[in-house]
A and B are shown apart, each in its own frame.
Chain A
Amino acid sequence: MTGAGSAVPLLEVENLTMRFGGLVAVDDVSFTAYRGEITAIIGPNGAGKTTVFNCLTGFYRPSAGRLAMHKGAEILKLERIEGFRIVRRAGIARTFQNIRLFAGMTVLENLIVAQHNPLMKASVLSLAGLLGLPRYRAAERAAVERARHWLDRIGLTDRADRLAAALPYGAQRRLEIARALCTGPALLCLDEPAAGLNPRESAELNDLLLGVRDEEQIGILLIEHDMSVVMGISDHVIVLDYGRKIADGTPAEVRADPEVVKAYLGEDEIEEGSNKRDIVIPAQAGVQGSAAGDGGTGFPRPRE
């Protein structure tokens, strides 16, 4: 299942540690994401998956470790870049576990706001824009075209002028992904994109992500509980538990890993039923989880 151009590393995380007071949310985690590959991060609730994302996208400053982003020949140290600059400097865009759209703005406006930095540059601190210079107008047209491209991809073109809040849940999820893509990222970080989607929407999402991976040749980093998504499209799976990395490999390898099974099902059950070698995939785990919002996911943590 490894992607075509697998040799090009995009993001190298080395010994990432994030402490909140005495709590170690992420403990010495290292992994590499490659360009043109989908890397999934899975793990029980509270394993530190979202914390890894927050470190990558500048919302948290890591307590220790190195986050190296390859940009051409240049290697950027993410932990040194101010939060809001990461999307422009390093090309890392993200979505959120609980959808964070600009609800009071239209679908199109959401996608235009995502292109703030190039538009701001074209408007020369708003001066060129205020005067309506052709240079700014051209930039705005280009931004609308880019938005239209992604709207076509997610099937929301006909609803472009509606308020984002008026969209159904699945469409909001897709819009948030499109918004992240409008920033023109090299690495797309998706925090539970399939949460709350029905099986059909979930399958559509798989197609979208595979399409984006192959056409744009970008890396996708994915936190997901829906195993049909994780196992179906990931090239590479990383399993976290209690902030530590416990497995790293192809979906098939991870699925067979006893450590992983233990983390999800608990030790007792392994001892009792020795035939259980694979992760049991609860039917549509994500569906139950998402409705609860932030923390609620389908997987209960087995240990006390």
Chain B
Amino acid sequence: MTAASGLAVAKAARPPVLWAPLLKDALVAALVAVLLALPLVGLQTYDIGGVALGIRTHFDWVAIGAAAVFAGRLVLCVYPQLYGGRTVGGQTPLGRVAVWANRQVLPITLAGIALAVALPFLPFSSRYLIDLGTTVLIYVMLGWGLNVVVGLAGLLDLGYVAFYAVGAYTFALLARDLNFTFWEALPFSGLVAASFGVLLGFPVLRLRGDYLAIVTLGFGEIIRIVLLNWSPVTGGPNGISDIPRPSFLGLPFARSAPEDTTTFNQFFGLEFSPDHRVIFLYFVILAMALLTNAFTLRIRQLPIGRAWEALREDEVASRALGINPTTVKLSAFAIGAMFGGFAGCFFATRQGFISPESFTFIESATILAIVVLGGMGSQLGVVLAAILLVSLPEFGRAFAEFRMLIFGAAMVGVMVWRPRGLIAHREPTLRLGPQPAPR
């Protein structure tokens, strides 16, 4: 409240900074931080042997944290008074970066793709990094898929993980019972997931907002619980193991091949290395994700894509203009689900083992957070958010039990400075005038 009134004053005549309310505000913030941090950070239990636990106190950490919060809050409040409001988009440093990123989408995209392609061959690259990159790319692909449903069509879907699961189980079952390989099963995974998308779409056609979210949430849970309990088919909680790995144009990645097959390393005359498969998987998901992106960018500029956006903006007006809400909504659900299915198929072949545990609500929440955090409808934003959300907890491992705290703080920070997402910018699907010059 104090910050808001300070802002108004600053706008009027920009008088000298009013320190008293700012100091009070910063003190309150520091007090809240102390109250929060005292039990979380200040007290640490440790094993003193036997059955007892000792308590170690870290009041110095709490004091440092409170001082940091005090200073940070003070700077936050003084900054707009000295340099004008920070409410206008593009005013904060983060906002300026986002605006710059919007103007330079093409170079950034090309640089990103180049970096992604080169990643496995960089000197500092490791198996761990490539694995992490693969995970990030799975989430990028899921984010792009969900972006069709949430960002473009404006249908809040809290059960997106269901399609991911359907794709994964489709491949696992096809491989187990019909000996399908990854590449043979991939189209079926997408197709089956898309059918489930339509299946979900029908009952929720008339629902919007909160009600739609609840039903999709339920749908996600239904799929998971069915997978958990339909043991004869899905293996129940034990899941399905020994899912075949993908081959490179029919060449398997293996140390020793069975009779009359050539392995990848034999064919290319390379020393066998388990890294080959890891790198190959990385490139497979990279290609799949880029295809998803190309498809989404293209379809956005087609009548069906514009109809999705029109439906998001105003369903009544769309109907009056001859758009059939049923088919348009179902197509959004189907296409979003299809990409989820593809990603699920890849997930199954990468893990070699799947169980319902991989498809819990928290996955849906993470994917949705990626879309919302990135900026609804922004393709580049999804990439940034996926990198942030997936790799931040990984890099935070050094902080052990505080990593979720850091993760939460980062999310709060983004929502404070970029409430509409990292890149909240919508590029028109077509223009009459020339492209505005980069600023």
Contact = CB atoms under 8 A, between A and B. Distances in A.
B105 to A, nearest CB: 16
B313 A102 contact: yes
A93 B320 contact: yes
A151 B307 CA distance: 21
A103 B310 CA distance: 9
Contacts of B325: 84
A100 B317 contact: yes
Nearest to A88: B322
Interface in B103-117: none
Interface stretch (A118-126, A218-226, A265-273): A118-126
Interface of B: 295, 298-299, 302-304, 306-307, 309-310, 312-314, 316-325, 426, 428-433
Contacts of B307: 113, 116, 120
B306 A113 contact: yes
Given A87-B322, A108-B430, A183-B322, A116 B306 contact: yes
Contacts, number: 118
Interface of A: 57-59, 83-88, 93-94, 96, 100-106, 108-109, 112-114, 116-117, 119-120, 123, 126, 129-130, 140, 144, 147-148, 151, 157-158, 160-161, 179-180, 183
B317 A151 contact: no
- Looking at B302, B313, B316, B322, the one whose CB has the most chain A CB atoms below 10 A away is B322
B317 A126 contact: no
A108 B304 contact: no
B220 to A, nearest CB: 28
A45 B412 CA distance: 49
A87 B431 contact: no
A152 to B, nearest CB: 11
A151 B203 CA distance: 40
Contacts of A94: 320
A106 to B, nearest CB: 5
A120 B432 contact: no
A205 B207 CA distance: 37
Nearest to A104: B313
Contacts of A106: 428, 431
Interface of A is mostly: helix
Contact of A161 (B313, B317, B323, B428): B428
A179 B317 CA distance: 10
12 contacts: A84-B324, A87-B321, A96-B320, A102-B310, A104-B313, A108-B430, A109-B309, A112-B429, A116-B306, A117-B322, A130-B299, A161-B432
Nearest to B426: A104
A63 B133 CA distance: 61
Nearest to B309: A105
Given A87-B322, A101-B317, A130-B298, A113 B310 contact: yes
Contacts of B295: 130
A58 B325 CA distance: 14
B303 A119 contact: yes
Of the listed residues A94, A101, A120, the one surrounded by the most CB atoms of chain B closer than 10 A to its CB is A120
